[in-house]
Structures are given as structure tokens and as C-alpha cells.
Structure 1
């Protein structure tokens, strides 16, 4: 075992600078996920295009989610370092272009560039952590990475409001520039990996078919019932063409020498169940982060900052339990830890449902905190279990598939929860501005979140039983150079 592994997980260890760099890169994506929302009024006032602003979010999520599998496979082929640096560079370029955008269509286009960068940054940070830390150490490290999201959920909206009010909305993008430069410099200097040189046959056809097919699918789900009706020509056409492209992708992958998304992932019970769990986690997260603020603002008139802090309680509970999850899964295994976490999340979700007829910020925050505690015991151990079951040259694809499933779960969740809420609002005489209607819609969404949690626990029950040492098949094949990482 190398000196780096013996020295522990702290920031002062040899791997400390790499961990700090990973947290910085994660922070780029995390802050960008929240900082834009509070600046939308200022952007629209400057650039116009109010009807187009939802695309600022949709195209970013679309580019990010669709590119993850491609980056993940390339990371297993050429290494993590070049891919994460490409991601940081694209994110930097996209941020600069967004800051100088002269119109809403231009800003939307530049958000695509940002999304393509984010698609490499987030999965690579998690994959690198899986490479350089042992299975016993990863829970604490994932807790550190999760804490970045918790901090960003508070810092992001605050910065967005400050920049919009006192300077210019353009600074919500320019603030990424120094962060990108520092993160990239720290990774170049401190993270080193040894890749065995060999010739690769890149699966270009598979990459194009997967990206196009998933892009259309995610676009259809995100915009269905919003930009166009579910039964419209656009919606049906997008779903049909997506299905055709994905079927073609499967046929290509069966013959590819080095498939971009190997089909063996779907033949391993552990990987299938952890992927399904990630789908459920994504749906639950989007249901809460999207509708808790709306529920509190519309029902009791809570100001946006207070409503945002209530849902931020979820991202506070998550890193706490994620950091502690290692103590659980080393004793009772990955499966049992995930089941305990899902049980806690279900309790939190049910408490939201029961208290929804009587809106209260404190009750909602406590329930979200409980759900966050549960999610930390679900998402982190199942991801680590998937990573630990494969060697280095498969870990990127496995990690990317897990995070990709979470993105798909969020996309599908947005569509389902949105349809439920809109149906209740449409059937009410009071409309979306009636507090009683908002309460009813919020309660229905919270009930749907609880149902998603109950369904997800089914995937947890199907996970293979066993101790950690029964799942961990290899030690990390790539370690940071002695004395540098």
C-alpha cells in the first residue's frame, strides 16, 4: 500500500491537494445549478426573451446528462485527468461566453457549452475519488464532495442575488473563471496517473447514436407538457426518433470492439440494482428541490430565501450521513446500509405528506433534513458498491452510468411531478395563486416522492447480499505518484 493511502483522508495528506481540487471542480457545477435562478429577472430585463428563459436550464441539463456516458467511457480509455481537464476547459469557455452574451438565444447556446463541460466535471470528480481512496475511505471523501453541494445550495442563490442587485448578472458566470483556473492548475500539478499505453478503437458510431438518442429523450421529457403538449407532433416525434436511435445504438454496441456503454453493465445484478436506486434518488431530489419552495411561497407566502433554506436542509443532512456511511457499510454491508437509509427517507417523505395540509417552514425543513440523512446512506454506499465491484478500466463507465441514471430520474421526475401538480391546479377554481390549491398540489407531489422512495426500496432489496470484502474485487489500480498527490 502506498504512502498516500496510509496517510489518511485529511487535507494535509499527500492526496489532500487532489481532494481540494475535486471539491473545487464539484463546486463549479454545484454553484451553477443554483446561482442562475435568482438572476433570471435581471437577465430577462437586459436581454429580453422571457418566454425563452426556461431553455437556459433545459439545454444545460440536456447537454450535461447526454454527454456523461461518453466522457465516462473515454476516461476508462485515455485516463481521468485529460477528461476532467477538458471538462473544466469547456466549462471555463462556456462561462466566459455566457458572461459576454448579447441576446437570449446566444446565452442559451453558450449554456450548452457549459453543460458539456459539467458533463465531464461531476462524474470525473467522483471517479477520481474512487481511484485514489480505498473503499473504507470513500464514504468520508464522498461526504466532503456532498458538503460542496450543501454549501452551494446556500451560497449560489445568495451570490446570484448580490451580483444581480449590486453589479451585473454577467458576474454569475465570470465568477467561474478563477475557480476553473485554480481547480485545473491544482489537478495538473498534483494528480498523476499511470496509463498503460495501447491502441484504442473509439466507438464513434455508438457515441453519436447514444448522445442523439438520449438528447431527444431527455428533451422530450423536459419539455413535454411545457413547451409543447404531450400528444403534440413534436413530443411524439421526439420519443419515436429517440427510440429508433437507441435501438440502433444497442445493435451497434453488440458488435463494437470497445463499446461506449458496454452492455455487460445491464447483466450484473449489483450494477443494475444500484442504477435503479440512482434513478429513484434523482426523482426524489428533483421533486423536493423543485416543489418545496413553490409550496411554501404559494401556501403561506414565505419569502424565496426562507423557502430556499427549508429545502437546503436536505443538502445539509445528506453530507452528514454520507460521511458517516462508511461506518455502517463496513459493519452491515452496502445493501443493509442502503435499506436503512431508504427507510429513513420514507419516514421523512411521509412526514411531509402528513404535514402538507398545515404548511410550516420548520416542519418542512425538518422533514427535508430527515430525507437528506436517508439519501446520504443510500446514494453514497450504492455508488461506492458499484465502483468497488469493478477494476480501474471499468470504473469510469460504472460511475458515469450511476450518475447518468440520477439525471434521467430527475428528468422523468420533473415531467411526472409537474403533470401531477398541473392537473390539480387546472382542476381547481382558485388556480395557481390560491393557497389551498398550492397546498393540495404540494401534498400530491410529496406523496409521489414517498411512492418513489417505496419503489426504490424494492431495488435495494434486490441488491446482492454480502460483506464489503465480498464485493470489492480489486484494489485501486491507479494510485497518485508518491509525494505528489
Structure 2
């Protein structure tokens, strides 16, 4: 009987996570150029929202299906769908098309990262996971260090389309490695799939996200449309809970949430998801539009977060063994608060180095917390629930990012509209497009340029103020984690 080749499976999993990390950063770096080319700055946040929405909706479904059918078939389906979406994104010729293809891409991405992480939990012991998860998290840094830089180069040379197409050869290699070198136990018994739960979860999240993105912009907050969407979302979530309590194989088995480690790690992941998206989505816009820096420099500021992340992740693996999950997570929470405060204090005249430092400190906090959470959650459940438990953490972070990009997009758009109204000047959200490229800024009158930059700077400062609030909430929630003295050896 063939056995799993752990080193080669690990390399394949790391490559899959590389693809996910590149996607998370390279698109954000290219978005100013994409918006300038395709237009539609008012739909800017939907490029992120569409991807995150489907990622969030499907991650729990894929996690549960991997527990039923095995990791390999679900991973294969997800990564192929992700690569197809990547191909089509590069072929989009309008913002609406790009949003549609991002939905497809996100639907596939929901399987890639959680199942890749679960595979590592399957083939390594608890003590080994503390070190290996640090390596996996460092892949986010390594790939994201190159991602924004590559994104800037691709945008400046062959075009923004290639920020999507770069995923394709890497994803194929990762898939081949998992298919060839991972051996799984045979499954017995008839599978039971929770279709009703999946549909209700989708309806609830889509309704919630849409009202958050368009509320105050596409329609008034106190309107029939908003009331209908909020009611639909609330009803769907209530029915989802009722269904999950009755079905044989729920997408979200609520008993895992009774474990304090899983509960508080996931709650913190929800808030850190908001922090992460506020940096990765809007920092390039600030550096490009307000600081007047090229795309490569904007990419560098994001790269700084991705340098801090792997450094902290590697350190986190060692700290978990020595001082335990709680103290490691607490240190990460303190760094998140410090980084958020640096963003709040950032001003245009401070230059990209201040932006990079703020990003780096956030990266340290993310690296310490994310590694600690994954290892602690996987150690808290058996093999049969490891897929859905790991997916629950990914789900909460994705949900945080989904809510965050919608909420913060609303804060950004509303702040800009109020700024324009207070000046009695006839500007709209799409006026910001002209700040995003060197050529368009050069053609603008100086007074108009400074006016629009002032509005964008003010709006983004409001975004970072919200981010700081969630950083403080993250720190407070960490105190709910059980106190421990380190990872026990030889524990499965």
C-alpha cells in the first residue's frame, strides 16, 4: 500500500497557499490600474466583495465535504474552478464582467486554503503542526513579498490581466502534487449533504453583504429596499440555525463552538479579517492616489505586511511550544493594536515609509495570531471534524473580510459623498479614478487635484479609524482564550 510522501505533499500545499496569497495581494496592488482602465470606481469594493462573498459562503461547504469525501477530490474541484475564474478575470473588458468572474474565482478559492491547511493537520502530529503551520503562514509572506512587486511590474509592462493569469501554472503544479503524493484512508458509509443549510447560508450572506455595500449609496439606509434585504438576511440565518440543529451532517456542527478555544479563536479571526482587508484593499489606493506614488511603491507598502507575517509565523510556532496559545495570541493582539494606531496617525506628508511600517506591524500581529489559532483548533478536534473545524476558522476570517470590505467601502463612499456635498462642487465617486494614474493626475488643474486628494485622504482616515476599533476588540476577545502552558508533545 502506498503511503503519503509528506515532504512533497507539504511542498504542494505550500504552493497552493502561495497562489492564495498572491491573489490576496497582487489584485489589490493592480486595482488602481484596473479601475482606471475599466472605470467604475463606485464598484471598486465589489471586486473584493464578490470574491470574498463566494469564498466565505463556500468554505464551510468545502470543509464539510472534505470530511465526507476526502481532501483530494474537493481540493481538485476547488482549485480547477479557481483557475478557470482566474483565466476569465484576465479576459474581462468591463467592471461588471470582472465582478462576475471574481464570483467564480472566489467559489473555487473557498476550497484551496482551508483544505490545504487541513491536509497538513492530517499528516503531522500536534507538535509538528506548531512548526509546520509557521512555515505555511510564512508562504503568505514569501508570496506576498513577491506578489505586490510582481503586480506592479506586470501592470507597468504587459498589463493588469497577468495578475490573474500568473495563478494558472502554479495552481496546476500544486494540484498535481496533491493528487500524486497524498494517500487518504478509504471512506465508508453513505454521504449526507446539507443542501438546505448551504442555500440558506448563501441567501443570508448575499443579502447582508449587498445592503452593507449599497446602503447609503445605491439606496437609503432607511428605505424599503434596505428593510427587505435585512429581513431576508435575518430570516435566512434563523432558518439556517434551525436546519443545522436537525440535519445529520450539518455544514456547521454547533457543538464545536462549545469549545472555548474554537469559539474565541474564531471570534478574533472575524475581527482580524476586517483589519486585514482594510489594509490590503485600501492601502494601495492611499499610496497611489494621495501620496502620488507609482504602483510598485504601493505594492512595497503591502509587501511590508507580508514580511512581518512570515517572521511572526515562524516565531509563533516556537512560542506555541514554549508559552502556549494564549500568550502567543495576546502578543499578536498587542501588535495589531499598535499597527492600527500607526495607520490612524498616518498623513500624506509622512510618505510611503510610514505606510510600510504600519503595514509591517500589522503583519506581525497577523502572523502571531493566525498560526496560534489554526494549531489550537486542529488540536481540539478529531480527524473526522478537522476539516470543518479548520474551515470554521477560515470562514470567520473570510466573513470578517467580507463584512469589512462592505462596511469600510460604505464608510469610504459615504465620506467622499459628504465631502463633495459640503464643498458644493459637482463631483461623484468616479472622479477619484483620475487620481489613480500618473498621466491623469498630470492633466488635472492643481486646485482640483488637491481637492480630490483631500477628500480621498479624509475618507481613508475614517476607514483606518474603524480598523483601530476592531483591533482593540480583537485584543479584548483574546482574553477569552483558555490559559495553557504550551503544546503537548505527541498529541494527535
Q: TM-score, normalised by structure 1?
A: 0.85
How far 1:426 moved relative to its partner?
A: 4.5
Q: Which moved more, 1:190-199 or 1:292-301?
A: 292-301
Gaps of at least 5 residues in structure 1 are 5-13, 476-485
Q: How far apart, in 1, do the equivalents of 2:282 and 2:41 lie?
A: 21
Q: Provide, for residues 425-476 of structure 1, a one-character-per-residue CA deviation record: whole Å limited to 9, x for no partner.
A: 4454569754555544444433332221211122110111123457x9951x
Which of 461, 468, 476 aligns to 2:479? It is 461
User: RMSD value over aligned CA atoms?
Assistant: 3.1
2:135 alignment partner, SS class:
helix
How far 1:351 moved relative to its partner?
A: 3.3
Q: Provide, for residues 79-124 of structure 1, a one-character-per-residue CA deviation record: whole Å limited to 9, x for no partner.
A: 1111111111212333344455576655543332221110111111
Q: Which residue of 2 aligns with 1:132?
A: 123
Q: Which residue of 2 aligns with 1:240?
A: 231
How far 1:145 moved relative to its partner?
A: 2.7
Mapping of 1:137-152 within 5 angstroms? 137-152=128-143
Q: How far apart, in 2, do the equivalents of 1:260 and 1:160 lie?
A: 36
Q: Which residue of 2 aligns with 1:80?
A: 71
Contact 1:26-1:122 within 8 A present in 2 as well: yes
Q: Which residue of 2 aligns with 1:478?
A: none
Q: Which moved more, 1:460-469 or 1:62-71?
A: 460-469
Gaps of at least 5 residues in structure 2 are 433-449
Q: How far apart, in 2, do the equivalents of 1:350 and 1:451 lie?
A: 10
Q: Provide, for residues 59-84 of structure 1, a one-character-per-residue CA deviation record: whole Å limited to 9, x for no partner.
A: 22211111111111111111111111
Q: How far apart, in 1, do the equivalents of 2:463 and 2:45 lie?
A: 21
1:465 alignment partner, SS class:
coil
Q: How far apart, in 1, do the equivalents of 2:41 and 2:163 lie?
A: 19
Contact 1:356-1:442 within 8 A present in 2 as well: no
Q: Which moved more, 1:363-372 or 1:38-47?
A: 38-47
Q: How far apart, in 2, do the equivalents of 1:193 and 1:99 lie?
A: 35
Q: How far apart, in 1, do the equivalents of 2:464 and 2:8 lie?
A: 41
Residue 400 in structure 1 maps to residue 369 in structure 2? no
Q: Which residue of 1 aligns with 2:440?
A: none
Mapping of 1:27-426 within 5 angstroms? 27-37=18-28, 55-100=46-91, 105-164=96-155, 166-167=157-158, 169-356=160-347, 359-422=350-413, 424-426=415-417
Aligned length: 464
Q: How far apart, in 1, do the equivalents of 2:167 and 2:72 lie?
A: 20
Residue 451 in structure 1 maps to residue 442 in structure 2? no
Q: TM-score, normalised by structure 2?
A: 0.84
Q: How far apart, in 2, do the equivalents of 1:438 and 1:386 lie?
A: 40
Change (3 A) 1:108 1:439: closer
Q: How far apart, in 2, do the equivalents of 1:23 and 1:227 lie?
A: 41
How far 1:336 moved relative to its partner?
A: 1.3
Q: Which residue of 2 aligns with 1:482?
A: none
